[in-house]
Structure 1
Amino acid sequence: MAQGVERAKDGGAIDEIVVTAQRRQQNVQDVPIAITAVSGAALRESGVRDPRDLTMLVPSLSMQAGTAASTTSLFIRGVGIGDFNSNTTGAVGIYVDDVFIGANAGKLFNVFDSDGIEVLKGPQGTLYGRNTTAGAIRFNSRKPTDTLSGDFSALYGRFNEVRLEGGIGGPIAGDKLKARISGLYHRNDGTTFNRFTGHRVNNLDLWAARGIVDFTPSGDALIRITVHTGRNSGGARQFQHRGQGVDFFGNPAFLPDGTPTDGFGYADTDGDPYAGDYDVEGKERINVFGASLTGQFTLGNVQLTTITAYEQVNRATLEDTDASPNQVISSYSEDRPRQFSQELRLQSVGENTFNWIVGGFYFHDNLKTDSSFDLLRGLRDPSAPLGGFDPVNSLGLLRYPYTQKTDSYAVFGQGDYKLTDSLTATLGLRYSHDRIRMKFESLFDALGTIVPVTAYSDVTVPLVSFDGRKSFNDLSWRAALNYKVDDTLVYASFSKGYNSGGFAGGASTDIAQLAPFRSEKLYAYEVGVKTDLLDRRLRFNASAFYYDYRDLQVFVFDLSGPVPVQRKLNAGNARIYGLEAEVTARPVRNLELFSAFTLMDSKYKTFTALGGASLAGNRLVNAPAFAASGGVRLTVPLANGSEVRANVDGTYTSPIFLYPDNATATKVKGYGLLNARLAWSAPGGRYDIAVFGKNLTKTRYITAIFPVITQDQVNYNEPRTYGVQLSAHF
């Protein structure tokens, strides 16, 4: 059974989903981990396009938009790091076909020709190559099939959105050699109008392709080669402008009606988050390539798995940082991460009294980046010496090239021992060693420009030259008990997660800002129940958790100088506790109701801010007190064998804070979203046509706020979209 595939025992029962979260095929209801599994069909019907869209299906998963579409930060149960810089791995591990993806920009190309997604909540490490504190998201691609099969879909929607997706696969040489190729093309004209030029911005234009070849020389051996590539050539993120109400000298700056302006007296006053005045129309170019070689060999009662993978990303982003018609600040960045990983696992085969797995993992990442901010060009005097260059008052081009090399080693293992037919004990251990070297420079460039192309000069003022090394070690674990009777599973676990320390990757102007931050550790206590009732027509899964979060890493801005400086540091300690539940009901054969919710309470126990103020007692960032999702799916069979399917779903998220200080200016109000889809499917399901709408209520909410010089750049969610989709399967 392929990963994430739904399987129903009878037409009236709730579908069974098979996952490999514990490195063996299991019904998700038999896995003693808080996990949300979504099949490929459900992903398509819910309109999930990339990892950010999963927040529609998993209430405990939230996201914070970065400075570009490719730098989104993910949080699970309030655990995450809102750092958009390129050297940030994040607290949520992303795996594509068991390959860990380190680079942020490489995570946008995964949700196509999908067999399903698994969202694992809580620390993961005793079964996985890369350790994480928040959890893991596993993307599973469709694999080659024994017979020729294919899938294709074409979508057209608002903003001239076009999405073409397809895959075809089958045998090449009997049952020995099989292959599948798939591809995606996705574009739109842009969701935001630029009043300054009359163009649409925030546009999308990407393609991706994947090829998988399976060679099975015998029934005990599988060798799989996967190659993927893709390119994004759309627009960079265009923000909304929000003045801070001060000029460049700290004096109040407001319009006559009281609207705060920036230092040039500009304010965006139309109240439309999908329109702005941008003198720079940002562009983003991302090229990705990756390949992996997977081998699975059954040697009697054990199975050996080896995964060798290489990933590379080239990203270049030009951004109108000030989101205004004036030359306050614009930026350009180039990232070139190169990643190699090797995982080796040995595990028992089948269901035994004692099931075990041991493994080792090596990860190497070589990141080269060169970024710059063009600061306050509108205040510079071109006739003055060096064009009015003045580093003391931040008039010039701030450039910060750096190289970071990471080597991570780990050994891990887990054993499940059946104490009785119903009671199983689990113990897992992991040792991690991470070694990081950062070579960083920061300088002011007198005559350089970043628009329209990168053009640095030789007239520079060095600010920082840094070469630092730091190693981090950790022993983490998982201990659990689970009790299974009939269709009910009860479990309790205690686990420790670890996220390596490192160096900040922002625009540092003082060597003190490059001091390494410590590793964060999370101690997770959890109890849960999973049960199917009423002949599997009612499914109820719930878990309660308590997190002891120590040395947590936070991303903040230092606002003490004329230019906000990005800082990454350890906040101290925090605690999070909560309750979450998922309920699915199928009262009659063709009607399914589903809902999920998360209740959560979080606070910093100890946290001294940069200015010395205590933030103890404040809520953690991106940690809503309540979040929920739910919906209904209705299938109406027709006389000729075709059917009509209707799907309505929605989400609600209570207010959150975007920064640890819990300031009102960076608080996001609670919001809800509503989506719908209506489809007609031909007899046998060979093809269908659907109409859909996302964000039907035209809800507007903030996804991120970043301070810049005398103003804030504000990210908003996507506007209402709708369209039609045609799909075919054979």
Structure 2
Amino acid sequence: MRNLLLAGVSLGVIVPFAAQAQQQPAPPVAAPTPTPAPAADQGGVQDIIVTAAKREQNLQNVPISVTAVSEERLQTLNVTSTANISAVAPGIVFVPAPNPNVVQFVVRGVGTFAFADTLEQSVGVAIDGVPLGRVAGAVVDAVDISRIEVLRGPQGTLFGKSATAGLISIVNNKPNLHTTSFTGRALYGENEELRVQGTVNVPLIQDVLALRVSGWDFSRDGYLNAPKQPDGNIGDFHNMGVRARLAWQATPTLRFDASAEISSNWNDGTTTTTRSYLANDFLSYKGGPTIAQINASMGIVPGPNNRTIGVELQGIGGHVKPQFYQFEGNLDLGAVTLTSLTAYRRVKSDQIADYDYSASQANSYRTYQNYRSTTTQLTQELRLANAGNQKFQYTLGLFYYDLNVPQSSIEQDTLNVPTFPPPYYARGRQIQVTMNTKNYAAFADTNLRLGKFNLLAGARLSREESTGTFNRVSPQYAAGANGQDLSIFLPGSTAVGFPPYFVATSVKYTDFSWKVGGQYHVTSDVMAYVTASRAYKGPGFNFSNDLTASTFALNNAVVKQEIAHSYEVGVRAQLFDHTLTLNASAYRSPFDNFQITAGIPNALGGLTYTIINAGQIVAKGVEGDFSWHPRGALHGFSLDGNFAYNDTKYTDFANAPCFSGQTVAAAPTDTPGICAPIAIGSGATKQSVNGQRTVGSPEWQINLFGGYEHPVTDGLSAFLRTHWFHQTSIQYGVGANPGTLVGGYDTVDLSVGIRDRDDRWKLSVIGKNILDQMYTVRAVTSNPGLVQIIPYEAQSSWALALDVKF
């Protein structure tokens, strides 16, 4: 299969393929979403307007690898949030986590696996043009969106730091000044899944003032077995929110848009199950039961198919509450447009976790963790852009960013030996972290048209200043503060080996990022491009919970900035009267000082997680997509697809940690894949992982979408949509750890239904993973062994959806 696909890529030099085309056009940024005629009535592949360069452009003319996904496609597949974006866009992986503050997006095999709020991500997320400083709250529900754009490769010149691997840009619909409308959806499915959403648009003063309000309420019952929980399961969620947008056309040339969004997202606990046990099950005490024995008493059988969790603590789970306020002004000065964009974002997160142990049996542990954070950010952007039909096009801008991260977490192990005196009954620690980052930047993006050839150039000058504090103390609050069982909290106890500790640190950094390239329009429908770029991800702090004075002394806990270079070529083509789109891109991107969290075995027999810089990784690969929407005898049929081949590996990482259980060589060596002491007689070990794949990096991802629509009466049409997704295996640990290597999988989705041909309503039956393919989306080493995350989508599910529009 690989040879066949690579042969197809070779042909892409002549007739290539690379950015996902959709069936309906997206609107200009400052205008409301139009209601296009259904694609089945139009035929052909419709133009897609994107704002990847912060100006409106036909996607086929954009010289970067970008995918634009419409809300209609997301709804057809019941893709309800950015967490499932890999189901429609190539080259991207979402990696969930028990704590929503440490989930990851991975693009082209590059992501940031860091268990700390003091590092930003390699994959940026922007909502309506505003970059998010932290991933917390970046998993958003797809409600009343115009499109989601996935930009692959460094985006440092226009979107700044934290976009060294790529950017996910969510573009919401703006108010329509002219028309009153309502759109809504109601979906009911298995596991009591219920999704209700609606959007109303009302011109308050015709052509002058309009209000657009969206509301949603999404919920579903748990899907994993939890015999110690009252309802016998875990994995419930309940998301609800409201977004209000106000548009004011103050003059024919001046428009203001204000928006406010508040949402609340609840979950009922960590969804990790035990995959296997470690040899050092040190959490049991003396003659007490091992974790394996405790789990076995509840019928838990560890393994890739384990869907049972032994968690006992009641009321576990979490609550994430994002708030987003934005004010945008656009002044049309004729030849240029002046834009001001001010935004404030606040995300509050509170998570309570209890792991797969049991405190109800003598001589056993209950491990409890409570994590709290409140992230706030203020951004201001001012930019000037000229009209898109000029020979020389430019976007010039200034940017200011102020991020605050106060975070606190508490960990406590409770040993069920009541006869022991309190100092031996429990141990714990509370970590209090603060961080403030200010960033100042000036940027420019230019395009000079010389006949069929375009010269591209961009630059961004940034100044960044960060300060932070780390304070490890005896626990000050715990379960009791959340109405939980007070018996697991003993004030004044301290985790063994991690005494109270306080440090403060700071870092300043100046960066110059750039991009150069060229475009050549072979014909009006065929374009080729080549680009080279540099971007950076800001420095951060190694404030892992296990921080010690010796670790801090190495570099004041500063994690060096991550630098990315990228070289990309691509071609885009539309053929046969725009019924066929074929695009392709190839890239090579070295990343220096790559920031990563790694688990290092400690003296207690467990793992100490710390943040380090890998010397270098290199991402390289090929991406492509096609869209075929024929006319004539095949009118109503459509076939779309995309693929990503990725070969991202460590190229300079000789001091990587060994994984738990790895055989240790007798003498030091730099042979890749061999765990060895750092010196003769030393108990400290390391390994070289040069030549091995990076964390979260599948070799292949493939999507195929098929659709057919046919009139059944003068006013009704029946439709069928299918989707096949293929992903190869992924390594979720640094090195060749067989325990954290997760196998690949294939899923098939189906949507069938009937709709009004004027698009006023649509009734759909939606099947997800209809072949019931079991799979895992994360595996990590965590006491008592290897744990994994099995998503809800790793099972067959069916739902009925009604969409209305008037």
Contact 1:226 1:291 in 2 (8 A): yes
Q: Distance in 2 between matches of 1:250 and 1:284?
A: 25
Q: Name the residue aligned to 1:73.
A: 104
**Structure 2 counterparts to residues 536-575 of structure 1, below 5 A:** 536-562=578-604, 563-575=606-618
Instruction: Give the deviation of 1:553 after TM superposition.
Output: 1.0
Cα–Cα, structure 1 residues 110 and 198, in superposed 2: closer, same or farther, change >3 Å?
closer
Cα–Cα, structure 1 residues 441 and 179, in superposed 2: closer, same or farther, change >3 Å?
same
Q: Distance in 2 between matches of 1:459 and 1:318?
A: 20
2:544 aligned counterpart, secondary structure: coil
Instruction: Give the deviation of 1:5 after TM superposition.
Output: 7.0
Cα–Cα, structure 1 residues 270 and 80, in superposed 2: closer, same or farther, change >3 Å?
closer
Instruction: Give the deviation of 1:650 after TM superposition.
Output: 1.5
Task: Say yes or no: does 1:24 pair with 2:55.
Answer: yes
Task: Say yes or no: does 1:103 pair with 2:137.
Answer: no
1:621 aligned counterpart, secondary structure: coil
2:777 aligned counterpart, secondary structure: strand
Cα–Cα, structure 1 residues 460 and 388, in superposed 2: closer, same or farther, change >3 Å?
closer
Cα–Cα, structure 1 residues 511 and 679, in superposed 2: closer, same or farther, change >3 Å?
farther
Q: Name the residue aligned to 2:538.
A: 500
Q: Name the residue aligned to 1:388.
A: 424
Q: Output the amino acid matched with 2:258.
A: I
Contact 1:527 1:545 in 2 (8 A): yes
Q: Distance in 2 between matches of 1:438 and 1:69?
A: 22
Which stretch shows the higher mean deviation, 489-498 or 679-688? 679-688
Q: Output the amino acid matched with 2:395.
A: I
Instruction: Give the deviation of 1:346 after TM superposition.
Output: 1.1
Q: Distance in 1 between matches of 2:139 and 2:519?
A: 36
Which stretch shows the higher mean deviation, 135-144 or 82-91? 82-91
**Structure 2 counterparts to residues 182-581 of structure 1, below 5 A:** 182-199=214-231, 200-249=233-282, 261=292, 268-269=300-301, 272-281=305-314, 282-322=316-356, 327-375=365-413, 377-378=414-415, 381-389=417-425, 396-420=427-451, 422-445=452-475, 452-453=483-484, 459=492, 461=494, 462-484=499-521, 485-514=523-552, 515-562=557-604, 563-581=606-624
**Structure 2 counterparts to residues 8-157 of structure 1, below 5 A:** 11-69=42-100, 71-145=102-176, 146-157=178-189
Q: Name the residue aligned to 1:2.
A: 28
Q: Output the amino acid matched with 1:688.
A: K
Cα–Cα, structure 1 residues 251 and 105, in superposed 2: closer, same or farther, change >3 Å?
closer
Q: Name the residue aligned to 1:613.
A: 687
Instruction: Give the deviation of 1:706 after TM superposition.
Output: 2.9
Instruction: Give the deviation of 1:251 after TM superposition.
Output: 11
1:126 aligned counterpart, secondary structure: helix
Task: Say yes or no: does 1:601 pair with 2:647.
Answer: yes
Contact 2:732 2:780 in 1 (8 A): no
Cα–Cα, structure 1 residues 419 and 188, in superposed 2: closer, same or farther, change >3 Å?
same
Q: Distance in 2 between matches of 1:492 and 1:75?
A: 23
Q: What CA deviation, in whole Å up to 9, does each residue of 1:149-177 have, x standing for no partner? A: 11000000111010001101031112111
Q: Name the residue aligned to 1:654.
A: 728
Q: Distance in 2 between matches of 1:709 and 1:221?
A: 59
Q: TM-score, normalised by structure 1?
A: 0.93
Which stretch shows the higher mean deviation, 222-231 or 327-336? 327-336
Q: Distance in 2 between matches of 1:636 and 1:657?
A: 44
Cα–Cα, structure 1 residues 533 and 262, in superposed 2: closer, same or farther, change >3 Å?
farther
Q: Distance in 1 between matches of 2:353 and 2:491?
A: 23
Q: What CA deviation, in whole Å up to 9, does each residue of 1:309-353 have, x standing for no partner? A: 111111110112336676342211111111111111111123111
**Aligned Cα RMSD in Å?**
2.6
Contact 2:92 2:108 in 1 (8 A): yes
Q: Output the amino acid matched with 2:274.
A: H
Contact 1:360 1:412 in 2 (8 A): yes
Cα–Cα, structure 1 residues 618 and 260, in superposed 2: closer, same or farther, change >3 Å?
farther
Which stretch shows the higher mean deviation, 280-289 or 263-272? 263-272
Percent identity at matched positions?
Answer: 24
Instruction: Give the deviation of 1:216 after TM superposition.
Output: 0.8
Higher relative contact order (CA 8 A, sep 6+): 2
Instruction: Give the deviation of 1:448 after TM superposition.
Output: 6.5
Contact 2:222 2:236 in 1 (8 A): yes
Q: Distance in 2 between matches of 1:173 and 1:662?
A: 63
Q: What CA deviation, in whole Å up to 9, does each residue of 1:31-50 have, x standing for no partner? A: 11100001121121122211
Cα–Cα, structure 1 residues 170 and 249, in superposed 2: closer, same or farther, change >3 Å?
closer
Q: Output the amino acid matched with 1:572.
A: G
Q: TM-score, normalised by structure 2?
A: 0.85
Instruction: Give the deviation of 1:396 after TM superposition.
Output: 0.5
Instruction: Give the deviation of 1:712 after TM superposition.
Output: 2.7
Which stretch shows the higher mean deviation, 10-19 or 422-431? 10-19
Instruction: Give the deviation of 1:551 after TM superposition.
Output: 1.0
Q: What CA deviation, in whole Å up to 9, does each residue of 1:96-152 have, x standing for no partner? A: 111222232312334111111111111112222545101111111121112011100
Contact 1:99 1:309 in 2 (8 A): yes
Q: Output the amino acid matched with 1:496.
A: R
Contact 1:109 1:230 in 2 (8 A): no
Q: 2:757 aligns with which of 683, 696, 700?
A: 683
Q: What CA deviation, in whole Å up to 9, does each residue of 1:577-598 have, x standing for no partner? A: 1111101112322011111111
Cα–Cα, structure 1 residues 595 and 123, in superposed 2: closer, same or farther, change >3 Å?
same
Q: What CA deviation, in whole Å up to 9, does each residue of 1:202-256 have, x standing for no partner? A: 1011101101101111121111101000111231322102342434459999xxx
Instruction: Give the deviation of 1:602 after TM superposition.
Output: 2.1
Q: Output the amino acid matched with 2:627.
A: T
- Number of equivalent positions: 718
Q: Distance in 1 between matches of 2:202 and 2:383?
A: 28
Contact 1:6 1:18 in 2 (8 A): no
Cα–Cα, structure 1 residues 153 and 209, in superposed 2: closer, same or farther, change >3 Å?
same
Instruction: Give the deviation of 1:68 after TM superposition.
Output: 2.8
Q: Output the amino acid matched with 1:242.
A: R
Q: Distance in 2 between matches of 1:639 and 1:242?
A: 53
2:546 aligned counterpart, secondary structure: coil
Q: Distance in 2 between matches of 1:548 and 1:572?
A: 10
Q: Distance in 2 between matches of 1:262 and 1:335?
A: 35
Which stretch shows the higher mean deviation, 43-52 or 325-334? 325-334
- Structure that is richer in strand per residue: 1
Instruction: Give the deviation of 1:58 after TM superposition.
Output: 1.3
Contact 1:599 1:627 in 2 (8 A): yes
Q: Name the residue aligned to 2:23.
A: none
Q: Output the amino acid matched with 1:180.
A: R
Q: Name the residue aligned to 1:256.
A: none
